[in-house]
Amino acid sequence: MPISGLILTLSSNSEAAQTALDKCHADPQVQVGEFVGPRRCPITLDTNNPEEDKVSWQRLQDDPGIDFVDVVCVYFDEDEKAEDSTVQVPASHSGTMALAD
């Protein structure tokens, strides 16, 4: 699963920002780096599966103590095979299309 480097911009509301930061510190998937300026904080996110990745992302995005999430880098596992997605191949095409290996 991807390992990513992100920058969080914490809220100017210091109470909300501190709560968000505490949650990050308590999350084993998140490693918190050193602040750059008063509100910008680099972190890494390392999740086990897409579901966890989604949950972590959503939590960061929706946290009232976090104003913004910037992505800096993402490393995929090169052994990772193309995963199933929730997209349905249009019914009229099923079984007749040549799909990637």
Partner 1 sequence: MSLMQLDRRNFLKSVAMATATAAAHETFAATTNDVSLPQLDPKVTDPPAIDGVVWDKAPCRFCGTGCHVMVGVKNNRVVAVTGDRHAAVNKGLLCVKGYHVGSILYGQGRLTQPLLKTDTGYKAISWEEAIKVIAKRIIKRPKTFAIYGSGQWTIPEGYACQKFIKGGLANNHIDPNARLCMASAVTGFIGTYGVDEPAGCYDDLDAANVIITWGNNPAEMHPVLFSRFIDRRSRGEKVTLIDIGTRRTRTTEQADHYLCFNPHSDLAIANGIMQQLIENDTFDKKFVEQHCNFRYQVDPKKPGLKGAPSTFEAFKKAVAEYTPERVEEISGVPADKIRMLGKLFGRRDIRITSLWCMGMNQHSAGTMINNLVHSVHLLSGHFGRPGDAPTSLTGQPSACGTAREVGTLAHALPGGRLVKLKAHRQHCEDIWNLPRGRMNPKPGYHTVKMWEAFCTPTDQPGGDIDTIWVQVTNPGQTLPNLHKLFDPKANLKDKFLIVSDVYPTATTQLADLILPAALWVEKNGMFGNSERRTQQWFRQVTPPGQARDDCWQVIAVARAMFDMGHEGMRDKDGKFIFETKDDQGSEVPIWEWENYYGKVNVDEALFEEYRKFTRLKHKDLAPYSEYVKAHGLRWPVVQQPDGSWRETGFRFSGFDDPYVGKDASGKPKEFDFYHSTTKDGRAQIWHYPYLDPPEMPDATYPFWLCTGRVLEHWHSGTMTRRVPQLARAVPRAYVEINPDDAKAAGIAQGSPVKIESRRGSIVLPARINGRGQPPRGSIFVPFFDETKLINNVTLDVTCPISKEPDYKKCAVSIMPVSTSKG
**C-beta separation of 28 from 38 below 8 A:** no
Distant-in-sequence, close-in-space partners of 98: CB < 8 Å, separation ≥ 6: none
> Of the candidates 20, 21, 43, 63, which one interacts with partner 1 according to CB under 8 A?
43
Closest approach, Cβ 37 to partner 1, in A, equals 5
Amino acid code (one letter) for 21: L
Q: Which residues pair with 7 in a beta bridge?
A: 42, 70
Closest approach, Cβ 6 to partner 1, in A, equals 6
Q: Which is nearer to partner 1, 26 or 95 (CB)?
A: 95
> Of the candidates 16, 19, 23, 39, which one interacts with partner 1 according to CB under 8 A?
39
How many Cα atoms occupy the beta-carbon half-sphere of 78 within 13 Å?
0
**Residue 83 makes contact with partner 1 by CB under 8 A:** yes
Smallest CA-to-CA distance from 5 within 59, 39, 42 is with 42
**Contact set with partner 1 (CB under 8 A):** 2-7, 9-10, 12, 31, 33-34, 36-44, 46, 50-51, 53-54, 57-58, 61, 67-78, 82-90, 92-93, 95-101
